[in-house]
């Protein structure tokens, strides 16, 4: 478990080729984050806007145990989301 704020890079070639890997690894990153902390997800742009595929999956899996905030779209086209584990959710 990660008892601090952290980031994960989901923009490497393996993610560009596999949307399901983005979803799986993003979900695992959220699982590894303790209550009250966040993980920043840097997501490859190749699969389109994560609001259309990643965010709904995270909400379906974690429900009200997370807070999702769009941070920015990088100059390279990637997206950054901050997923905070809501205190008391573990």
Using CA of residue 82, residue 79, residue 47, residue 50, what is the dihedral sign? positive
Given a cut of 90, whether residue 18 has pLDDT beyond it is yes
Residue 85 pairs in a beta bridge with: 66
pLDDT at 89 over 60: no
Number of C-beta neighbours around residue 50 at 10 A: 26
Q: Dump strand ranges (E) for the chain.
A: 6-10, 38-43, 66-73, 79-85
Does the domain formed by 6-85 have CATH 2.60.120.260?
no
Domain layout of the chain by residue ranges: 6-85
Answer for the pair 11, 44: CB distance below 8 angstroms, yes or no. Answer: yes
- Residue-wise pLDDT for 34-71, tens only, equals 999 999 999 999 999 999 999 999 999 999 999 999 99
Find the mean pLDDT for residues 12-32: 96
pLDDT band at 80 (very low <50, low <70, confident <90, very high): very high
């Amino acid at each position: 478990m990660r008892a601090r704020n952290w980031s994960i890079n989901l923009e490497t070639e393996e993610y560009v080729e596999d949307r399901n890997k983005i979803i799986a690894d993003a979900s695992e990153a959220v699982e590894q984050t303790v209550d009250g902390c966040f993980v920043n997800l840097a997501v490859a742009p190749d699969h389109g806007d994560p609001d259309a595929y990643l965010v709904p999956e995270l909400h379906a899996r974690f429900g009200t145990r997370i807070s999702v905030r769009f941070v920015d779209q990088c100059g390279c086209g990637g997206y950054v989301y901050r997923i905070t584990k809501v205190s008391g959710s573990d």
